[in-house]
Amino acid sequence: MHPHAHRIRPDTGPPIPARLLAPVLSVIAVLLLTLAALVVTAPRASAAELAPVPSFGTDPGNLAMYEYVPDGLPEGAPLVVLLHGCTQNATDYHRSSGWAEQAERSGLALVYAEQRTTNNANRCFNWFEPGDVARGSGEARSIASMVESAVSRHGLDPDRVFVSGLSAGGAMTAELLAAYPDLFVGGGIVAGVPAGCASGLIDAFTCMNPGKTLTPQQWGDRVRAKLPDGAEPPRVAIWHGTADTTVAPANGRSSVAQWVNVLGLPSEPDGTESLPGPTTVEYYGGGAEDAGVAHFSVAGMGHGTPVDPSSGCGAAGAHFLDTVCSAGYTALFWGIGGNDGGPTDPPTGEPTGEPTEGPAGECVTASNHTHVAQGRAEHRLGYAYALGSGDLLGLWNTAVRTSLTETAVGHWELTPGGC
């Protein structure tokens, strides 16, 4: 996060004897068949690319704008604005955060704001400068201009605009949620700090580590001081690793306290859930689909964006940590991740060629979607879990097939070797 200072045809030789040529041709044929199989089974690659947008309206913060619009994106699609961390850029975040894959799966447009070294030597967003976070000024206004430009040019849904960022980008996300709740209906603060934590560079370091100790009311007041009159606060997903030594995990808890207070929710969670990672999520003011605040705590994770390359979610690297797909879970929490590896509503029609539930001791192989539909597993946030054992089966869809054995009536366990 580190907030530093601102601103003629050749002779081909004798023919090859047929007895020598035959094995070569055989090998070539096998290679061609293999290549054909790969071409058939490989997923369709989108022609869409991350593209710069040289002009997007008023830009008092002197930021750069990039966008990614999947092929054939219909009008009225949601928009997600993404803010990179210090020393990163838009390309880094697009390549590794998992949001590019999520955009293709769920039909989302993406906008990336990029910091310039002329503003901050380490490319940190200036979340600690009052002139850059206030509504209508500095970097905050530049990002608002990017939203207005993208929504207008691509016919996106202005009522489904979200923002998420890492570290300094996460801190700026919190500021944007407070300053522009009429623009952003949801946010994702990843390894960030509460809104209104710092009022200058030196103050910023204290906010980062060890963090500031305020009451929930005091934290809430920091947001209320920025909220436009009559504005409805957004829904917020807060991510933090328990082993983060750059931005102390206490900041995640303070962010939860802040937004729970702003939204007027009970201070105790309504529900808790275990996710891959290992990750624990607490929901405040409802469940996974309607809570106002979700706190995702990733055990043993340091400072970075949680990704899950094995499930097609981002790429591991510096500050992109192989734990859990934060992009996918955040999109699901916001209500825009319905096609993240599986539908939000079950497909119509009855499954064919799939066995139904059998007596105890029987092993059943089926898609994860069918396991859920027939009562052997349950669906939580895009993933399927075996009933009874709670074994993680993977993405909830019709493509992933697993085997489950009923070891006792109603108790199903994953059978890795298959039935």
Q: Which residues are catalytic?
A: 167
- Contact yes or no for 235/336 (Cβ under 8 A): no
Q: In what order do the strands lie in the sheet with 161-166?
A: 51-52, 64-68, 109-114, 79-83, 161-166, 186-190, 235-241, 293-298, 279-284, 271-275
Going from the C-alpha of 70 to that of each of 51, 99, 150, 172, 308, the distances in angstroms are 12, 12, 13, 26, 21
3-state SS class at 15: coil
| Crossing angle between the packed helical segments 168-179 and 216-224, to the nearest 10 degrees | 70
3-state SS class at 368: helix
Amino acid at 108: L
CA 74 to chain centre: 21
* Residue 295, H or E segment: strand 293-298
Cβ neighbours, 10 Å, residue 148:
16
Determine the Cα–Cα distance for residues 403 and 394; give it in Å rounded to an integer.
12
Determine the Cα–Cα distance for residues 3 and 125; give it in Å rounded to an integer.
8
Residue identified by tokens 């298959």 is 418
- In sequence order, what are the residues at sequence separation of 6 or more whose Cβ sits closer than 8 angstroms to the Cβ of residue 353? none
Strand runs labelled E in 299-396: 305-307, 320-322, 363-367, 377-380, 383-386, 392-395
* Residue 217, H or E segment: helix 216-224
